[in-house]
Chain A
Amino acid sequence: MTSTVVEPAAPARRGGAGGASPRPKRSKLHRVSPLILVFVFVPFVVEAVWVFWPALQGFWLALTKWDGLSAPTFVGLGNFREMLSDPIFGTALKNTAIWLVLFGGLSVLGGFGMALLLQRERRGVGIYRAALFTPVVFSLVVTALIWRVFYQPDGLVDSILRTIGLGELIRPWLADPDTALYAVIVPALWRQIGYVMVLYLAGLKAVDPALYEAARVDGANAWQRTLYVTIPQLKGVNSVVLSVIVIDSLRSFDIVWSMTKGGPYHSSELLSTYMYSTAFQSTQLGYASALAVVIFLLALAVILGYLIRAFREEA
Chain B
Amino acid sequence: MNRLKTTGYHLSMGLISFLWIAPILWVIVISFRSFDDVAANGLGSLPRSFTFSTYVQAWQDADEFRALINSLLVTIPAVLLSLGLASIAAYGLARYNIPFRRTVLLLMLMGNLLPPQILLIPISRFVELIGYYDTLIALIAVHVGFGLGFYTFVLHGFMRDLPKEIQEAATIDGAGPGKIYASVILPLTRPAMAALGALSFTWIFNDLLWSITVIRSGEKMPVTPALLGLQGLFVSSWNVIAAGTVIAAVPTVAVFLRFQKHFVGGLAIGAVK
Contacts and interface: CB of A to CB of B under 8 A. Distances in A.
Interface of A: 1, 3-11, 13-14, 17, 26, 28-33, 35-37, 39-40, 42-44, 46-47, 49-55, 57-59, 61, 117-118, 124, 127-128, 131-132, 134-135, 137-142, 145-150, 152, 154-160, 190, 194, 198-199, 202-203, 205-206, 247, 250-251, 253-254, 257-258, 271-272, 275-276, 279-280, 285, 288-289, 291-293, 295-296, 299, 303, 306-307, 310-311, 313-314
A149 B43 CA distance: 8
Interface of B: 10, 13-14, 16-18, 20-21, 23-24, 26-27, 30, 42-45, 85-86, 88-89, 91-93, 95-98, 101-102, 104-126, 141-142, 144-150, 152-154, 157, 164, 167, 171, 176-178, 181, 195-196, 199, 202-210, 213, 224-225, 227-228, 231, 238, 241-242, 244-245, 248-249, 252-253, 255-256, 264, 266-273
A275 B20 contact: no
A124 B101 CA distance: 47
The binding surface of chain B is classed by DSSP as helix
B203 A4 contact: yes
A132 B245 contact: no
A123 to B, nearest CB: 8
Contact of B271 (A128, A203, A291): A203
B173 to A, nearest CB: 14
A33 B153 contact: no
The 8 closest A-B CB pairs, nearest first, are A10-B270, A50-B145, A159-B44, A139-B206, A131-B17, A154-B42, A54-B122, A43-B89
Contacts of B178: 35
A154 B44 contact: yes
B270 A13 contact: yes
Contacts of A36: 91-92, 96, 98, 177
A276 B93 CA distance: 36
Contacts of A138: 206, 249, 252-253
B160 to A, nearest CB: 8
Contacts of B116: 251
A286 B154 CA distance: 35
A7 B154 contact: yes
A109 to B, nearest CB: 14
A145 B28 CA distance: 12
A188 to B, nearest CB: 13
Given A47-B148, A52-B111, A293 B44 contact: no
A295 B118 contact: yes
Contacts of B266: 7, 10
Contacts of B271: 9-10, 13, 202-203, 205-206
A315 to B, nearest CB: 8
Contact of B120 (A17, A124, A203, A276): A276
A46 B145 contact: yes
A311 B110 CA distance: 11
Nearest to B167: A30
A158 B268 CA distance: 42
Contacts of A10: 154, 157, 266-267, 269-271, 273
Nearest to B210: A1
Nearest to B192: A7
A131 B110 CA distance: 34
Contacts of B89: 39-40, 42-44
Contact of A146 (B98, B119, B245): B245
Contacts of B91: 36, 39
